[in-house]
Amino acid sequence: MSLDLAYGLSLYGVSLLTMGGLYALLTLGLNAQWGFAGLFNAGIAGFFGIGAYTSAFLTTAPTMRHIGGYDMPYVVGIAAAMLVAGIIAYLVGKVCLRLRSDYLAIATIGISEIFRLIVNNEIDTTNGARGVSEIPKPFEHWPEPYNQIAFLVLVLLAVLIVYVLLEVARKSPWGRVMTAIRENETSAKAAGKNIETFRMEGFVIGCMIMALGGALMSQYLKFFNPAAIDPLTATFLVWVMLIVGGGGNNRGAILGAFLMWIVWSMTELLTSWLPSQWETPWFTLNDLATRASYLRIFLIGLLLQVFIQRFPQGILRERRPSFSGD
Amino acid sequence: MSEFINFYFIPGLILGSIYALGAIGITLTFGILRFANFAHGETMTLGVYFTWTLIQFCLHTLGLEMSNWFIILILMPISMLFCVVVVLALDRGFYKPLRESPTIMLVIASFGLMLMVRSAIQFFWGPQLKTVLPGIQLPMVFFDTIRIAPKHIWIILSAIVLIALIHYVLTYTKIGKAMRAMSDSQELARLTGINTERVVQATWVMGAALACAAGVFLAVDTQVETMMGFSLLLPMFAAAILGGVGRPYGAMAGGLIIGLAEELSSYHWIGDGALLNPGYKQGIAFTVMIIMLLWRPSGLFKGKVF
């Protein structure tokens, strides 16, 4: 193997791991909602997008294309992203959390679609479909491979911090109440726990973590437009990651994110190598590469169905903390 | 005045009937199977593509010469049947195994199916835009001012026929009464000896047939594209919640209200400009839904609240 090829492959590996890490943040956020509190968030894309846009508006250099351009530090961008997403999550939760989880699912997919509508329509504010570009990225002025590696380390550090915090929360009395509510709402209520408050905490924390993922994603890609707020790649894929990895288990969430991201990008590579046409004696298939990309989504969907029917625990099953603290 | 009727009220009525037909399926699955079915929009898209293929087959392969309306009238029941078969198969394969699980698993399954069905449609038919009915039609003029395109008259008449049919089934047939009973109270229905599995199947049959019709009406009115069902999902959920979950008549009323509200919102009620940027039409349904969830989650017709 030539040196160039090895260099290229390891750069590809770095980008694969960076994206996997960013998805791990989204999956951990979802785990705080689904795994801890049993809440179905069908609008991950929305909170991810809210985080990405908030951080992008604050950190970009002054510009006429969209609002913001305050040239603020990354940390401010990320903190604001989490704050805004948290406030919106709180409002959505206020409306839906006293009802069953289905309503939250409908409302969150609604929020995510409305947010996409707004960023597409308010061209003066968000630059519409052309999106926000030239988003500053941490370490981008470092020499070539090191800037990529440094950003990867930053993402992995964020994953680690979120993981440790969520683990502490899970093992704390708070986490045990969450499990109790998820497993048996009535008896948790009988034990005097305020179910709505606990659910709200899980939901808001999850959305804030998703916004963190979104903010870092916009910095990583240096560009963000409404197409990125896609229910397919930003919501559905995250669900598959969590269900496959193991809902309720933070390590499972991280494993699922990396695993499914690798599967997702590898199959994308495979479909891009397909010929454009496939002729058989009976019929001709055009646009084979495009069609195969749909087949890929179909198969990922099927994988989700297989897991929820046959292996609802996922790869790493949930472990209950013991009273002594695991 | 004629402008208001021709460009805002009639389109609102059309859109409303489409939402109404679609929302009946949503509200029945929500009431009887107890989960929000995210894949319902995709059933519509599927019905549209079945109909489109049948039309192509009849016109080009068989070379039949038929008027546009006649051909859709004949072919729509066939594609409804296809939709019913597909939906019953999906129920067997993906929903039935989860009937004993918490209902939220069904929501996840339907969310997955939404993307699976859509990607299957994109795989077989490709993502390009298509049209069901070629050519431009001259509108018919009534009382010198009201202009309605023939396709709109056709959609409204067919919607009325379908709604009358549903009314008959729900009020006078045994299975329809069983469906309403089960939507009211699952336990009581079971106690009176209703075969719940048959009711579940009847729910899928009715929902799929109506979804197919709603989809075809939308395709006649606009175009055929793979995202058309998904774009109706939120208004249909809103219509079901507005009317009251589990209430088919509520869903019809809710659909009409939301359809009209969406179209009328861009009328220049105050001043010269549209009251609401037409780009935000979809936001109306969401706003109505949030208001209902805050103010009266049981909806206008006292539906269920889970």
| Residue bearing the bigger pLDDT, B174 or A71 | B174
Both tokens of A123, joined, read 């061209």
Domains of chain B by range and CATH? Answer: 2-99+145-295 (1.10.3470)
Residue A217 exposure: Cα atoms within 13 Å on the Cβ side: 31
Q: A-chain residues within 8 Å CB-CB of B105? A: 308, 312
d(CA A37, CA A199): 6
Calculate ∠ Cα B250-B164-B189, nearest 5°.
55
Domain assignment of residue A214, yes or no: yes
Closest approach of B116 to chain A, Cα-based (Å):
5
Q: B-chain residues within 8 Å CB-CB of A114? A: 282-283, 286
Closest approach of B66 to chain A, Cα-based (Å):
28
Closest approach of A306 to chain B, Cα-based (Å):
9
Both tokens of B104, joined, read 């939220």
Closest approach of A109 to chain B, Cα-based (Å):
8
Name the band, by pLDDT with cuts 50, 70 and 90, for residue A325.
very low
**Out of A117, A239, A294, whose CB is closest to B283?**
A117
Domain assignment of residue A304, yes or no: yes
Question: Given this model, what pLDDT does residue B135 score?
Answer: 60
In this structure, what CATH number is given to the domain that contains residue A258? Answer: 1.10.3470
Calculated CA dihedral for residues B256, B259, B260, B262, nearest 10 degrees: 150
Q: CA of A238: which chain B residue's CA is closest?
A: B112
Q: With left for phi above 0 and alpha for psi between -120 and 50, is residue A11 left, alpha or beta? A: alpha
Q: B-chain residues within 8 Å CB-CB of A302? A: 116
> Are the beta carbons of B120 and A298 separated by less than 8 Å?
yes
Q: CA of A118: which chain B residue's CA is closest?
A: B280
Test mutation, A41, A101, A102, chain B, max B CBs within 10 A:
A102
Residue owning tokens 């994110």: A257
Domain assignment of residue A316, yes or no: no
Least confident of A228-237, A291-300, A316-325: A316-325
**Out of A42, A290, A291, whose CB is closest to B111?**
A42
Under 8 Å between Cβ of B48 and B228: yes
> Are the beta carbons of A101 and B234 separated by less than 8 Å?
no
What is the number of structural domains in chain A? 1
Both tokens of B205, joined, read 């049959």
| Host H or E run for residue B291 | helix B281-295
pLDDT by residue for chain B (306 residues), tens only, comes to 777 777 788 889 999 999 999 999 999 999 898 899 999 999 999 999 999 999 888 887 777 766 677 788 888 999 999 999 999 999 999 999 998 888 889 999 999 999 999 999 998 888 788 887 766 566 677 777 777 787 888 888 999 999 999 999 999 999 999 998 888 888 888 888 888 889 999 999 999 999 999 999 999 888 888 889 999 999 999 999 999 888 899 999 999 999 999 988 887 777 777 777 777 888 888 888 888 888 888 888 877 776
Expressed in percent and rounded to 5, the helix, strand and coil fractions of chain B are: 75, 5, 25
Per-chain mean pLDDT for chain A: 89
**Out of A117, A236, A294, whose CB is closest to B282?**
A117
**Out of A40, A99, A120, whose CB is closest to B108?**
A40
3-class SS letters over chain A: CCHHHHHHHHHHHHHHHHHHHHHHHHHHHHHHHHHHCCCCCCCHHHHHHHHHHHHHHHHCCCCCCCCCCCCCCHHHHHHHHHHHHHHHHHHHHHHHCCCCHHHHHHHHHHHHHHHHHHHHHCHHHHCHHHCECCCCCCCCCCCHHHHHHHHHHHHHHHHHHHHHHHHHHHHCHHHHHHHHHHHCHHHHHHCCCCHHHHHHHHHHHHHHHHHHHHHHHHHHHCCECHHHCCHHHHHHHHHHHHHHHCCCCHHHHHHHHHHHHHHHHHHHHHHHCCCCCEECCCCEECCHHHHHHHHHHHHHHHHHHHHHHHCCCCCCCCCCCCCCCC
Are β-strands B140-142 and B146-148 bridged in parallel, bridged antiparallel, or unpaired?
antiparallel
**Which residues is B30 bridged to in the sheet?**
none
Both tokens of A269, joined, read 């590579």
pLDDT digits (tens, 9 = 90+) for A135-174: 888 888 888 888 899 999 999 999 999 999 999 999 999 9
Domain assignment of residue A298, yes or no: yes
Domain assignment of residue A194, yes or no: yes
Q: CA of A95: which chain B residue's CA is closest?
A: B294
- Chain A to chain B Cβ contacts (< 8 Å): 118
Q: B-chain residues within 8 Å CB-CB of A240? A: 112
Residue owning tokens 């989504």: A297
* Domain hosting residue A119, numbered range: 14-310
Question: Given this model, what pLDDT does residue B84 score?
Answer: 96
Both tokens of A79, joined, read 């903190």
Percent of chain A with pLDDT over 90: 49
Question: Given this model, what pLDDT does residue B294 score?
Answer: 85
Q: Which residues contact A314 (CB under 8 A, 6 or more apart)?
A: A242, A243, A244, A245, A246, A247, A249, A252, A256, A307
> Are the beta carbons of B115 and A103 separated by less than 8 Å?
no
Q: A-chain residues within 8 Å CB-CB of B303? A: none
Q: A-chain residues within 8 Å CB-CB of B233? A: 109
**Sign of torsion over alpha carbons B101, B105, B106, B107:** positive
3-class secondary structure, B140: strand
Closest approach of B142 to chain A, Cα-based (Å):
37
Domain assignment of residue A30, yes or no: yes
Q: CA of B109: which chain A residue's CA is closest?
A: A305
pLDDT digits (tens, 9 = 90+) for A183-232: 888 888 888 888 889 999 999 999 999 999 999 999 999 999 998 888 88
Widest CA span in chain B: 61
**Out of B101, B123, B306, whose CB is closest to A102?**
B306
3-class secondary structure, B236: helix
pLDDT reading at A285 higher than 80: no
Closest approach of A116 to chain B, Cα-based (Å):
11
> Are the beta carbons of B286 and A110 separated by less than 8 Å?
yes
Domain assignment of residue A6, yes or no: no
Q: Which residue type, as a one-letter code, is found at position B8?
A: Y
Domain assignment of residue A180, yes or no: yes
Q: Which residue type, as a one-letter code, is found at position B107?
A: V
CA distances from B265 to B71, B116, B241, B256, B287 (A): 35, 34, 20, 14, 12
Query: What backbone phi and psi angles, to 5 degrees, belong to A279?
Result: -105, 130
Closest approach of A81 to chain B, Cα-based (Å):
23
d(CA B177, CA A290): 47
